[in-house]
Structure 1
């Protein structure tokens, strides 16, 4: 099958949904082309720092053709349109048109679909009330008028299925865009199970632990991501210091961008004098999985990211915080996850949750086994891609 994906960001050393879709579509023999932006840095993308003078670039990743295009216009980072993609679409002759969130260039895809009725069009969706529509202007103007009336409404009837990535996105699409729940199906942010297996067989767990001065008998907690106040990693650091167990170590991956240096300093201040806290910096997707393999338990106090799913896939017990609209209960059929509600997210409850898993007999090993079971059922892209191909 020939699959054309339209997205805002594709950086080959990351493990976002688009990257994994490409890898597993190609693994299963599909021909893939991705149309994306010329961003080369994830921080620049999130802070809307973009050099639109960069020319079009074409290269290959996992055998998929990646076409990076400049923008025709970029409205405050909220509405971004590439130069015309009609020729790319018609030359590739796709069977499936896959749109990642609402993008103006999808109308050039729609023209091709109307000329080729056998072609299917699907859209995944990442917005929810935790990351979008946080004020009247965003909700009433950006979403309900610009994105809904100008973009979503004209194309909606041509989309075979909407794939919100979390239940909160289902609620958002239903309430803001009036998409019936019957037209939606949650497509979880899965994980690279193949890479997890490769790394487990590689001996990286022992290698990383030895490098950091951690013994095989020690228990390792993993955390990190972009260092921002929304992540609340400072609460984990406080809890870790209060536990004060020499047999427990904490690995923190990630870094701060230029706008969050003060928060990073808060984290570093909380870590001073504790040799069991290890900062390893910003890692590519392979490095993240390698450090997850060296860990036993992952703790993310708030602000969901793909690393939550990566931790589950790596067989780690998991503690997370839901600050609103980010519940991970849809992945908790087997009770591998401890989830703290918004009013429960504090250092005392994080400390208590860690101790309940680490110090209760057999609890850590049981949770790790349940994480593997969860990943097999919910996070394996070998199976998840079949949802997106089920319309043929």
Structure 2
């Protein structure tokens, strides 16, 4: 089977643990011929950069083609318009059996629709990550970009979709309310992960805990991602500092924005139990998650949460409605603010939290909900 991923709406970075990467990787592992068509943007050391056109095969066998955006007036408009040249021709040459469009809010989705019209036997799916936390966060974006421009493109595509795959209940609600997507067309399709084998888990855990100098009864907490203010890294660091009796290290992984770098580095430097590891690729990050006893995400949503669950981590998490509805397998410690983070860490220090039980529940969540082998198979039916 030939499977084409069309991801020109957002950046694609090789060797990352995002849905686009792992899903296409799993398609290749399952023996399919896979083409990923991306735009020219990718992350390098945590910073978004442009790379221009390229065409090459990744180590897993996925062919990656990057197409630059067509310049429309200025760079800001071009990045919102999201038009590329050559997409239709690539689809004709590849002749896919299945197309997965990552998002529908890009002008070149019209090329995908045209291809589907000319080849009605092709199965066309689309996924969406758009929700009220990350999309349409100001009046102009919501009322013009999303409710007029992107809605027009989504409406064009809807008659040709097999399913519209929403990564959360919040995404489903955003798309129904702003794009007019019929609820019957939507399907829950969570951000998943690759579950390490017991041998891989044990080796990674031992290696990273030795690297960080952890003694056998010392806990490892991990906090990771793009460490912007909405991640609430500062609140986590203050709460951790307020519980000196907790025998643990806190590993902070990710890039820090320039405007908050001095503040966060000062907070980290003031507590010898905090280790700042900088930006890590997906393989390294997964090893640190295997080494962790608790993954801490007290702020905005992030796909790292699902990866942490796949690594068997208990999760300290802000109760976004989609998380509460979709992912609570009895593996979450819910926190709304710094006071609640401090209280949970104090309970852990006093031995009142059964972390091994939470770990077992995360392992069950990973098996039943997040395994990319199961998610990928849903595209082949």
Query: Aligned residue pairs: how many?
Result: 373
2:270 pairs with 1:273:
yes
Tell me the distance in 2 between the aligned counterparts of 1:12 and 1:36: 11
Contact 1:199 1:289 in 2 (8 A): no
2:190 pairs with 1:199:
no
Give RMSD over aligned pairs.
1.9
Alignment of 1:22-61 (within 5 A): 22-41=24-43, 43-45=46-48, 50=50, 54-61=52-59
Contact 2:293 2:314 in 1 (8 A): yes
CA shift for structure 1 position 243: 0.8
Contact 1:3 1:96 in 2 (8 A): yes
Contact 1:127 1:172 in 2 (8 A): yes
Q: 1:95 to 1:134 in 2, by over 3 A?
A: same
Unpaired runs of 5+ residues, structure 1, are none
CA shift for structure 1 position 108: 1.6
Contact 1:336 1:367 in 2 (8 A): yes
Partner-residue secondary structure (3-state), 1:90: helix
Tell me the distance in 2 between the aligned counterparts of 1:134 and 1:55: 31
CA shift for structure 1 position 356: 3.1
CA shift for structure 1 position 77: 2.4
Tell me the distance in 1 between the aligned counterparts of 2:186 and 2:371: 20
Tell me the distance in 2 between the aligned counterparts of 1:65 and 1:56: 10
CA shift for structure 1 position 380: 0.3
| Structure 2 counterpart of 1:353, from 326, 344, 348 | 344
Tell me the distance in 2 between the aligned counterparts of 1:329 and 1:134: 23
CA shift for structure 1 position 124: 0.2
Q: 1:44 to 1:325 in 2, by over 3 A?
A: farther
Partner of 2:192: 190
CA shift for structure 1 position 358: 5.0
Tell me the distance in 1 between the aligned counterparts of 2:270 and 2:150: 50
Q: Summarize deviations over 1:188-211 as a string: whole Å, max 9, x none.
A: 1101114x645314x232222222
CA shift for structure 1 position 326: 5.2
CA shift for structure 1 position 16: 0.8
2:107 pairs with 1:111:
no
TM-score, normalised via structure 1 length: 0.90
2:75 pairs with 1:80:
no
Tell me the distance in 2 between the aligned counterparts of 1:6 and 1:197: 34
Q: Summarize deviations over 1:273-308 as a string: whole Å, max 9, x none.
A: 322111111000111011112210111111111111
Tell me the distance in 2 between the aligned counterparts of 1:79 and 1:15: 26
Q: Summarize deviations over 1:40-66 as a string: whole Å, max 9, x none.
A: 425554xxx546xx3333333411111
Partner of 1:308: 305
Partner of 2:334: 339
2:381 pairs with 1:386:
no
TM-score, normalised via structure 2 length: 0.92
Alignment of 1:43-192 (within 5 A): 43-45=46-48, 50=50, 54-73=52-71, 75=77, 77-102=79-104, 103-149=106-152, 151-192=153-194
Partner-residue secondary structure (3-state), 1:154: helix
CA shift for structure 1 position 383: 0.6
CA shift for structure 1 position 318: 0.6
